[in-house]
Amino acid sequence: MSTFLLGGDLPVERLGLGTMRLTGPGVWGPPADRAQAVHVLRRAVELGVNLIDTADAYGPFVSEELIAEALHPYPDGLVIATKGGFTRQGPGRWTPVGRPEYLRQCAELSLRRLRVERIDLYQLHRIDPLVPLSDQLGELVALQKEGKIRHIGLSAVEVAEIEQARTLAQVVSVQNIYNLTRQRHRDVLDYCTRESLAFIPYFPLQAGSLAGDGSEPAEVATKYGATPSQIALAWLLARSPVTLPIPGTSRVAHLEENLGAKHVRLTDKDVARLTRQWSDEP
């Protein structure tokens, strides 16, 4: 299945685009080539991508501004997912802040930067351990009731946290790190599959571990006439019907290579072979 009904009402192509890499080093500041970043976004939509993932912390603010610059007014059916609740203190530095008044500010400013009246999917970027989860999600629910958020998602969570969150809000998605070489969140993926929640794996590629001569992905790639990166993405798509990988890139050629993964149909045997290779990885 090439599409997924996000939140039960938003049909999205299962291979989306992450925009963290459209910023400067350390996810800080503007990209070195702004025109190229805009081109990547426009080319992705031209190639059928209709799920774009971002966050106010990317830049900060840079990624959201680029999306609006490149794509507004947005084509029908384009789903933009953003996040709030992560503050930035410099390149590579991140600190969660989940106070309700801050989360509201995050959402209000994302609405302004993205030039929309409602955010399709708003994700709590990190749970702040210093603030009750009921306060954090309570503010997102309030924004949802006001029509400023359509759906609510979580990021970087464990199963117990998802279960707790679902007693407080209608959660439709979970975004966790997950890729062929880092399968630690298999239990979260299994939970999302059972509950029909979207599972959005970030950092879906671990290029250094994939491309070496004799590696499992390289051998499977030769069989399919594909690249190791395409095999890694095809594996994610085959792992569960709820996975929505969001590979990011700052180059059009790499974007086009990534999107070629949707044409690779791995056999069950090859999926099992690749899964076993790193099944004990953290």
Could you count the other beta carbons within 10 Å of the beta carbon of residue 140?
28
pTM for this model (two decimals): 0.95
CA dihedral of residues 121, 122, 127, 132 (deg, nearest 10): -120
In the 8-state DSSP scheme, what is residue 274? H
Residue type, 210: L
DSSP-derived 3-state class of residue 94: strand
Helix, strand, coil in percent for the chain, rounding step 5 = 45, 20, 35
Segment 22-37 shows an average pLDDT of 97
> What six digits make up the tokens of 155?
């990021």
pLDDT > 50? residue 94: yes
Q: Are strands 10-13 and 17-18 parallel, antiparallel or unpaired?
A: unpaired
Q: What pLDDT is stored for residue 282 in this prediction?
A: 45
> What six digits make up the tokens of 128?
């702040």
Cβ-count burial 2-26 (b if 16+ within 10 Å, e if not): eebebbeebebbbbbbbbbbbbeee
Listed in sequence order, the DSSP H helices in 146-267 are 159-166, 186-195, 207-210, 216-224, 228-239, 252-259
Could you count the other beta carbons within 10 Å of the beta carbon of residue 252?
15
Nearest to 210 by CA among 160, 152, 257: 257
Q: Which CATH number fits domain 3-208+242-251: 3.20.20.100, 3.40.50.970, 3.40.50.300, 2.40.50.140?
A: 3.20.20.100
pLDDT in tens, 127-173: 999 999 999 999 999 999 999 999 999 999 999 999 999 999 999 99
> What six digits make up the tokens of 86?
């992560």
pLDDT > 90? residue 211: no
Residue type, 59: G
Catalytic residues: 58
pLDDT in tens, 178-187: 999 888 899 9
Confidence of residue 215 (pLDDT cuts 50, 70, 90): confident
